[in-house]
Amino acid sequence: MLDLSAKLAYAAVCPDGRSPSRYTALRILLVEDDSRIVNFMQRGLEAEGITLDVVSAKTPALNLAESRRYNTIILDIYLGEDDGLDVCRTLRQRSIDTPVLVMTAKDSMELREASVKAGANAYLPKPFSFDDLLSTLEKIRQAYLTIGKPVPTGLPAQVRA
């Protein structure tokens, strides 16, 4: 059951009064170069009603992030020859305040700290369950509602999920 804030946030998406999925209005950019992970995440997120754009490298990720409005960017740290943390830093340097959830198979305290320094809002070590992913996305969504933004469009750097 959605709380009143969430119902108001999604009223524009379902003006006929239907009860929307918690994630119906979400649009996410997934930046991941492993096709198995892309397939796993794409199936699950789209089943939740999330619109998903998928790219596997820095340049298309930056182009899409600058040309479209996303609620969240899910970003792998290791993108073949590209560096996901560099993508995150570049987004912040270009004043793109969309929340960034970074994920990595090489979890360490150093990477967690580097992710925060690069401007990431949340961190998720691989492997993770789909429920963990949804929980992290929900924390990001709740952070928006807490700061009074009905539909997530960006997150100030001082607010972390």
Distance between CA atoms of residues 133 and 31, nearest Å: 15
All structural domains of the chain with their residue ranges: 24-146
Q: Using alpha carbons only, how large is the chain's radius of gyration in Å?
A: 15
Is the bond leading into 152 cis (omega within 30 degrees of zero)?
no
E strands, the chain, in order: 27-31, 51-55, 72-76, 78-79, 82-83, 100-104, 122-125
Answer with the residue of higher pLDDT: 154 or 128.
Answer: 128
The average pLDDT across 16-29 equals: 63
Give 24-146's CATH code, choosing from 3.10.310.10, 3.40.367.20, 3.40.50.2300, 3.30.565.10: 3.40.50.2300
pLDDT at position 22? 57
pLDDT at position 40? 93
pLDDT at position 21? 53
Q: What is the pTM of this model?
A: 0.77
Among the listed residues 93, 142, 145, the one whose alpha carbon sits nearest the alpha carbon of residue 119: 93
In the chain, pLDDT over 70 holds for what percent of residues?
74
